[in-house]
């Protein structure tokens, strides 16, 4: 069914998914991300994304993964595939943003309700520290 939908979409619009991937790879090969090798971004992109979410969220999502939570396994698998593909080197805080609610769902399964306030406080402290250190516009 999925292949049929893609075939109809390609026939109606002329969309070429293989050509799109090749063109994207060419752009990344000559862009800023090419200054660091692939092996740097392989662990670096997921790490940057999880840190951008906040240490409590990252910790809880990884804890849920360790317990085999289905949501955590699924979202971490998506992140792993995205990292291995290598098309988002150094831009995960923007490109992977749509994954944020899914990681939060995975993290929520590992969060004990009694520790919710502490987790929220840690996220607030981290956000304030980030703002003070980096002086962002937000």
Per cent of the chain over pLDDT 70 is 95
The gap from C-alpha 123 to its chain's centroid, in whole angstroms, comes to 18
Residue-wise pLDDT for 48-70, tens only, equals 898 888 888 999 999 999 999 99
What pLDDT score was predicted for residue 39?
86
Nearest Cα to 111, choosing from 79, 67, 75? 67
Q: How is residue 97 written in tokens? A: 């943003």
What pLDDT score was predicted for residue 63?
94
Distance in angstroms (rounded) separating the CA atoms of residues 110 and 87: 30
Cβ atoms of 63 and 109 within 8 Å: the answer is no
Give, for 116, the enclosing helix (H) or strand (E).
helix 116-134
Q: Would you place residue 121 in the very low, low, confident or very high pLDDT band (cuts 50, 70, 90)?
A: very high
Q: Per the confidence metrics, is the pTM higher than 0.95?
A: no
């Amino acid at each position: 069914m999925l292949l049929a939908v893609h075939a109809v979409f390609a026939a109606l619009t002329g969309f070429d998914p293989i050509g799109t991937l090749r063109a994207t790879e060419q752009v990344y090969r000559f862009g800023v991300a090419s200054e660091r090798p692939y092996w740097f971004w392989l662990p670096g992109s997921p790490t940057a994304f999880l840190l951008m979410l906040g240490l409590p969220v990252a910790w809880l999502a990884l804890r849920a993964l360790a317990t085999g939570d289905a949501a955590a396994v699924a979202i971490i698998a998506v992140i792993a595939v995205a990292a291995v593909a290598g098309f988002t080197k150094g831009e995960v805080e923007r490109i992977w943003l749509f994954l944020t609610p899914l990681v939060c769902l995975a993290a929520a399964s590992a969060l004990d309700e009694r520790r919710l306030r502490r987790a929220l406080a840690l996220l607030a402290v981290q956000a304030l520290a980030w703002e003070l250190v980096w002086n962002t516009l937000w």
